Structure 1
């Protein structure tokens, strides 16, 4: 799944479940947010269960054995199933369209397990289950906090909050349960719409039911021209049991799209995840194997599923991700060893495209995958498409998911990805783009740091500038989410608050938005406050002080072999933020570089990204990071920093690279 540490955030399951009508994330918090309004508080200090009850026959009772705060807690004992636990009616507490932050403290009585915070809702007597906080390790050695966001996005007749475990039925305690919300901000109506600025192709967002109500719906309709139901069209949502089709999750999303003239991408007809177990169970009740009987049955089920789902929406859906994530570059033949493949070989792909073409002849049919910028994966996918097209399989396009981060991949890697598929004469779409602020699984920030948000903005700037060069080749770009309050990256690959999209948790435009819409305004909406990584986060390493000794390949840059642009992107009393771009204007490639200058008014750098910095008596030396040291002739590398100033803040007047000067751009 991962070629290097930088791939750690790129998902094997690029569309993990996000609750169909909820927003479920870890609370971000923001320095400028008003105080939250608390609507629920249960501290179990009055000797009662305070309205909590068991979901089945388990016992729920006040306890003084342990407590997170005060002397009381709620004990849950006698459980016989993992889903059994304490449950609280919140139907009259939570209002539709409001994003609530829910917090609960949990502790096992003995041993350990993973605890989850969930919600059960019912509409028309049909129960649905939404995960607010995913699996979180809990032991008997101390209290663990579960915190997440939840939005009721549809009318319900039953709504209960509950705590469950993943593996065992052991007793546990809960304490200090709260729910609160921050009053919503109106969306910004005086900024350009993304859909109007980027007119080379439709720009879309993946959505759940939470994105079509209140301010989310307004934001979606203002900025985007297409939508992708993130989970509502997958097999587990549309055919949970054989022959029983339901479109309760997807129909409201499609209806919203039609009302607001938004195109719809259908995602997805075939995937190895989120497919009910019955699909792969043979007529004998056993897991399917590579027999003729099982193959025939599995292909029959596949055909029946596509004929029903694709036909239900007809021309309302103009693009389908027919098959999703079928490549495993570690296999000699490049094919994922899913049950689909082990039972049917390539025939499930052939059948899926053939049936989809018959049922939806108007639609564009795509094969979709992640990490397509990685050469090994890219090449295996190219070979598969070329083979299938040579057989007459009706593949119209390839989807690049583009789950990336602020350091990976490069624009040049992404360009190579796009260029690879041009000879196939098929459409290309970016189908699930987000840009994580994290570069490793060991990082975690209580709030998104200013430097990471700035890096993110430049990633969006660079990627969209590249995409817009492929007008006619790229026919759609979709972001995997609408705003930072609802992103799957909050719980994958680890639980922590991420901020990968163009709008923040309060639906306000970030620097990432300006990176797409107007890069000259990057940084104007970024708070000068910054947050340091938690102790387990990697810290930049400092090189030996050197202002005039970068290495190069094949010679020494001359006075015209480099150029530097220096731009202050934000300033506040005592501090500022700046962006520097170094360009190789010579004819020889560099393998590393160190750029030097001197501040003229005593400015100092407090934090730098996309490089390493040393300072000595006002002399600054910035050395490339591992991923941006190689610069071909004409190529550029950017880095930025937060600095301090006192009195004046003039820009440097000269720059040096290997002892010679660089032109000022």
Structure 2
């Protein structure tokens, strides 16, 4: 892990008079109870509609259970992809983001389990991963929980569970799917694209981001889009010569209809390339022979010509090659199959053909961790060599997948300055700011202090980028909002919050870090806290259950200062009415004795101005019923329940 951010830049932005009011941020958006559309507890002695994906057997069992006495057993598996499957087409509505939860346990041994969705349109199957590889074994139940949005019309939609490698028996139990309606987008806050006008600000999108409120948010704030996966080789040419633009065309058409630029990502990458591309004429994997090299470069040329021609002048920027640098190699080149078969000629060919097929477009080489000196320098040497050979490279893309404490502004400035002598454009192509600083961390909800750190990181980085007007020609965020981010499953499965808008599409402190840093963490009309205890009944409490499953639940609590005196600290108390127990709490500290609960503020949310609120959340357990507390007290004084 690198040094924490120390350098602070100032950022002065003039806002229209109509936008001076601070708007509701992520922490202020009241979460209603989720609407459940699917539950399977297997307590009725049936499989409740679940079947196998092949010839495996799916039966009700009482051998083990996560809750109650019944579960679903899957036996007779002969391949790791075989597992339980359920038709959810009738339950899932296009454009709605669902939280799906399944409890999984193996009969013997250990493996990784995955939760996915299979879509079929025109008889062709496509697969969307909801939860990536998660360690499971025979000694415990493991919960797979993730979000999924159906983005296109489909003929069938099936939820399924599979394992990574083993074919032993497995069990599932307590399946649930629910959604929380998104809030209307905030129309009276500044549009990001209007405030930052030194370069286009874009977002990477999937089909889900052009629908309903997501599409409204995208159109309001962003000037360009990058199809995140829809233009990659596996999506555009899954079989040799069989080109498909079903995923990409709707995204590109949305951009055209809204006057947005399109970045093409990506023509060549070592990932998401179908196996047939690297299979020789003899049906064997390609090796470094003249025949295999010629075949591979021929396939590369054909692919680029076809895809570039399909979009013509609509796509003005292409990431021609992606992630080709390995700083640990003496020559700095990644030992992908592209390289081992064709050497540097695959990069030369890709740029030459892209220039011929799209002479209007800017052609980029794109990579990650370019702020790390060793990688930065190897990328610089490669670009300098290729340009000296006459290879038509127009720009360098810096992905900028960073976190709240890394990198520093100085490191990022050095990255940008390094490429200035090469006379190339530079673009920030995939930026997000993880709330995590290590793989061992996992939060049930984003801590307030991490959201503030994130806001400062966005503030400082965008301020730096704006100093390079004319050198940096585009900045793209790798996602639209926190409800759909690749970081939820990479590098480990956990909920991240790396973008400017939260899971309900509301502006976060990070948004204000870019648009108006003076408003990070502020609330309209909030005076500086002066101390004192809340007056009698000068408070209200909102208690919401945001998720519930057999034996467990998640709740969010918001306490609001309805008086005229600011608080410097607070302590909220209540009685549970059915023996519920708090297991884990965030944004505060909890003490529980029997049914009595007391929650005190954390270090960062004790100061609450008149009209402002503080929030915390927790995971709890319940048996039988789970009623909300009947009354609350703040520092010993009755507090109204909202």
TM range (shorter): 0.7 to 0.9
Map 1:591-630 onto structure 2 (within 5 A).
Answer: none
Where 2:390 maps in the other structure, the secondary structure is: coil
The aligned residue for residue 454 of structure 2 is 456
- 8 Å Cα contact 1:575-1:642 kept in structure 2: no
1:210 lines up with 2:208 in the alignment: yes
Relative distance call for 1:424 and 1:645 in structure 2 (3 A) is closer
Relative distance call for 1:503 and 1:343 in structure 2 (3 A) is same
Aligned equivalents of 2:263, 2:256: Cα separation in 1: 12
The aligned residue for residue 472 of structure 2 is 474
2:217 to 211, 216, 219: 219
1:42 to 37, 40, 43: 40
Output the aligned Cα RMSD.
2.4
Where 1:642 maps in the other structure, the secondary structure is: coil
CA offset digits 1:119-173 (Å, max 9, x no partner):
1111122211111111111111010001111111111110111111111111101
Where 2:112 maps in the other structure, the secondary structure is: strand
The aligned residue for residue 130 of structure 1 is 128
CA offset digits 1:11-49 (Å, max 9, x no partner):
xxxxxxxxxxxxxxxxx9999411111111110001111
- 8 Å Cα contact 1:237-1:246 kept in structure 2: yes
Aligned equivalents of 2:501, 2:368: Cα separation in 1: 23
- 8 Å Cα contact 1:511-1:525 kept in structure 2: no
CA offset digits 1:425-452 (Å, max 9, x no partner):
1100000000001111111111000000
1:283 lines up with 2:284 in the alignment: no
The aligned residue for residue 86 of structure 2 is 88
The aligned residue for residue 176 of structure 1 is 174
1:365 lines up with 2:363 in the alignment: yes
Divergent runs of 4+, >4 A: 3-7, 28-31, 525-529, 643-648
Aligned equivalents of 1:332, 1:516: Cα separation in 2: 39
Where 1:149 maps in the other structure, the secondary structure is: strand
Aligned equivalents of 1:133, 1:44: Cα separation in 2: 22
Where 2:604 maps in the other structure, the secondary structure is: strand
Map 1:321-400 onto structure 2 (within 5 A).
Answer: 321-400=319-398
The aligned residue for residue 247 of structure 2 is 249
Aligned equivalents of 1:72, 1:247: Cα separation in 2: 45
Relative distance call for 1:297 and 1:188 in structure 2 (3 A) is same
Aligned equivalents of 2:431, 2:95: Cα separation in 1: 25
Where 2:319 maps in the other structure, the secondary structure is: strand
The aligned residue for residue 146 of structure 2 is 148
- 8 Å Cα contact 2:3-2:406 kept in structure 1: no
- 8 Å Cα contact 2:112-2:163 kept in structure 1: yes
Give the TM-score, by structure 1 length: 0.76
Aligned equivalents of 1:194, 1:5: Cα separation in 2: 30
1:574 to 568, 577, 584: 568
Where 1:438 maps in the other structure, the secondary structure is: coil
- 8 Å Cα contact 1:116-1:136 kept in structure 2: yes
1:120 lines up with 2:118 in the alignment: yes
Aligned equivalents of 1:228, 1:209: Cα separation in 2: 11
The aligned residue for residue 552 of structure 2 is none
CA offset digits 1:276-316 (Å, max 9, x no partner):
11111111222111111111111111001101111111111
The aligned residue for residue 317 of structure 1 is 315
Greater Cα shift, 502-511 or 245-254: 245-254
Where 1:164 maps in the other structure, the secondary structure is: strand
- 8 Å Cα contact 1:451-1:641 kept in structure 2: no
1:512 lines up with 2:514 in the alignment: no
The aligned residue for residue 58 of structure 1 is 56
Aligned equivalents of 1:641, 1:42: Cα separation in 2: 41
Deviation at 1:456, TM superposition (A): 0.4
Relative distance call for 1:572 and 1:394 in structure 2 (3 A) is farther
Relative distance call for 1:366 and 1:41 in structure 2 (3 A) is same
Relative distance call for 1:42 and 1:398 in structure 2 (3 A) is same
- Give the number of equivalent residue pairs: 524
Where 1:146 maps in the other structure, the secondary structure is: strand
The aligned residue for residue 588 of structure 1 is none
Deviation at 1:470, TM superposition (A): 0.6
Where 1:289 maps in the other structure, the secondary structure is: coil
Give the TM-score, by structure 2 length: 0.79
Relative distance call for 1:259 and 1:520 in structure 2 (3 A) is same
2:157 to 142, 151, 159: 159
The aligned residue for residue 642 of structure 1 is 604
1:306 lines up with 2:308 in the alignment: no
- 8 Å Cα contact 2:4-2:408 kept in structure 1: no
1:486 lines up with 2:517 in the alignment: no
Deviation at 1:574, TM superposition (A): 2.8
The aligned residue for residue 187 of structure 1 is 185
Deviation at 1:641, TM superposition (A): 6.7
Map 1:549-560 onto structure 2 (within 5 A).
Answer: none
Map 1:531-570 onto structure 2 (within 5 A).
Answer: none
CA offset digits 1:388-410 (Å, max 9, x no partner):
00111000000000000011000
CA offset digits 1:193-242 (Å, max 9, x no partner):
00000000000000000101011110000000000000000011111111
Relative distance call for 1:216 and 1:352 in structure 2 (3 A) is same
Where 1:486 maps in the other structure, the secondary structure is: coil
1:496 to 491, 494, 497: 494
The aligned residue for residue 97 of structure 1 is 95
Aligned equivalents of 1:471, 1:647: Cα separation in 2: 39
The aligned residue for residue 403 of structure 2 is 405
- 8 Å Cα contact 1:509-1:525 kept in structure 2: no
Deviation at 1:524, TM superposition (A): 2.8
Aligned equivalents of 2:512, 2:385: Cα separation in 1: 41
- 8 Å Cα contact 1:194-1:223 kept in structure 2: yes
- 8 Å Cα contact 2:262-2:317 kept in structure 1: yes
1:67 lines up with 2:65 in the alignment: yes
Aligned equivalents of 2:483, 2:609: Cα separation in 1: 39
Aligned equivalents of 1:239, 1:646: Cα separation in 2: 56
Aligned equivalents of 2:523, 2:321: Cα separation in 1: 39
Deviation at 1:373, TM superposition (A): 0.7
Q: Which runs of 5+ in 1 are unaligned?
A: 8-27, 530-570, 577-605, 608-639, 649-665
Aligned equivalents of 1:452, 1:646: Cα separation in 2: 19
- 8 Å Cα contact 1:80-1:169 kept in structure 2: yes
- 8 Å Cα contact 2:195-2:515 kept in structure 1: yes
Q: Which runs of 5+ in 2 are unaligned?
A: 6-25, 530-541, 543-564, 571-586, 589-601, 611-642
CA offset digits 1:240-272 (Å, max 9, x no partner):
111111111111111111111110000000011
Relative distance call for 1:525 and 1:239 in structure 2 (3 A) is farther
Where 1:128 maps in the other structure, the secondary structure is: strand
The aligned residue for residue 550 of structure 1 is none
